[in-house]
Amino acid sequence: MDVAIETVYEELRAIARAYFRREPLEHTLEPTALVHEALLRISGSGRAGSFHNVDHLIAVGARVMRQILVDHARRRGRRRRLNRMLLARNPHDAGTRPDERAVDVLTLDELLSDLERVSPRRARVVELRFFAGLTVEETASVLEVSPKTVEADWTFVRAWLRTKLDDPS
């Protein structure tokens, strides 16, 4: 069990570091603090023993960290910019033109909330693939669907987000 906890902790730290690579340098949170806050929220929720596997716990941790960052951005009254890697038609092109490849976390959170109302699974695919950094296979395992379903959802959501961000009306 200690190995599982250590694995989850290290995975969550890696996810937090990835989040903070997209953050401004003057950010008031740090990756370790984000992980600790997420783990405290998970343990305080009464769900600590209800996870199917390590991937499921990591996915929940990633979701909680996303919520913490969104709450923090709202409290600070500023809009964070995120890399639009998930939106790039060519992943190698992501980030080459920052003005075209960035979206703020509050806008992305609003769009994902809209998507979640009509397609909760597709919203979870974005959370797991983009925010948690899970592979197609890991995402399929957490969602209990086939990898083909995850790939189809991922393709759809990337196109949907591109459309929404290009024409916000």
pTM above 0.85, yes or no: no
Q: Please, which residues have CB within 8 angstroms of residue 104's CB and are 6 or more apart in sequence?
A: 73, 79, 80, 81, 82
What is the C-alpha separation between 164 and 158, in angstroms, rounded? Answer: 10
Q: Rounded to whole angstroms, how far apart are CA atoms 117 and 98?
A: 30
Residues spanned by the domain of 60: 2-166
28-72 per-position pLDDT tens digit: 678 888 899 988 888 777 665 677 778 778 888 888 888 888 888
Quote the number of domains for the chain: 1
